[in-house]
Amino acid sequence: MLIEFFHYLTTPASLTQRRLGYLRESVLLMSRSRRRHAAWAAHLDASRSIIRQASADLVRRRTTVILGSGLLDDVPLPYLAECFEKVILVDMIHLWPARLAVRRYTNVTLQVADLSGCVDWLRGEGERCTDPLAFLDREEIDFVVSANLLSQLPILPLDWFESRGRSIPDGLGRSIVMNHLEGLTRLRGRVCLLTDVEQVTEDRKGRVVERFDLLHESALPAPDRSWIWDIAPFGEIGRGNRQHHRVHAYADWHMAMHRPT
């Protein structure tokens, strides 16, 4: 609790990042990932491994961009910093663990960006941005990773409407997800996509109590790899239930897109 308060007070973040809940969510994610360190290890290992595999045969390794870099738990930063001339870590919030980690490297930088395209719109500044990845349209970017970010993108924009008792614009969640996928498709370099796709809640007898589509009915092609992320044990979300997420991993999104869903 005290450590969460410390991060909440001291993390460099704008009023908007705070008001819309981005700082709060990052701090909660950090606490949860530290608490669930052992159970999340397999998921984080698998994520780092596919990122290494996806970039292993690249001919050019100028700039790599990690979208949703967060706590860097699923990002093999030492490997990327060694293999690429430049590493850019993009997130709405960079907490202190990530800020301190990048200080070890001269070729790694942090960038704050809203990858949902909704933030300026929600604070009353213009229209919703339909191509939040347009800033990556640069020739020198050879490798982009979307690092367990996609399912998170709609959450706070949808919360914004719900918490104000306003109806959510039709199809908003799906459109945020699709804009991200289409943005990745337009990029010139290789794209590695890691995303959880489904949340399953089970009771103590192993019966499925609820299935929740984390991607708002956006169908994805068959993944290169898929695994279970043991997200919440019994006790964390109530005594009688536990939750896991199914994760899909695409080492090369441009190739995968041509597969059937």
Ligand X SMILES: C[S@@+](CC[C@H](N)C(=O)[O-])C[C@H]1O[C@@H](n2cnc3c(N)ncnc32)[C@H](O)[C@@H]1O
- The residue ranges that bind ligand X (CB under 6 A) are 22, 26, 29, 68-75, 91-93, 114-116, 147-149, 152-153
Considering beta carbons, is residue 71 or 220 the nearer one to ligand X?
71
Q: In this structure, what token pair is assigned to residue 216?
A: 């708002």
Q: How far is the CB of 144 from ligand X (least distance, A)?
A: 13
CA-to-CA distance for 50 and 212, rounded, in angstroms?
25
By beta carbon distance, the residue nearest ligand X is 70
Q: How far apart are CA 165 and CA 168, in angstroms?
A: 9
Q: Which is nearer to ligand X, 29 or 39 (CB)?
A: 29
For the CB of residue 3, give the shortest distance to ligand X in the complex, in Å: 16
* Residue number, 129 or 203, with CB nearest to ligand X: 129
Which residues share a beta bridge with 67?
A: 90, 146
Distance between alpha carbon 54 and the CA centroid of its chain, in Å?
Answer: 17
Least distance to ligand X, CB of residue 258, Å: 26
Among residues 239, 180, 244, which one has the least CA distance to residue 215? 180
Residue nearer to ligand X on the CB measure, 141 or 149: 149
Whose Cβ is closer to ligand X: residue 133's or residue 256's? Answer: 133
Determine the Cα–Cα distance for residues 29 and 247; give it in Å rounded to an integer: 17
Q: Where are the beta strands (DSSP E) in 23-162?
A: 63-67, 86-91, 108-112, 141-147
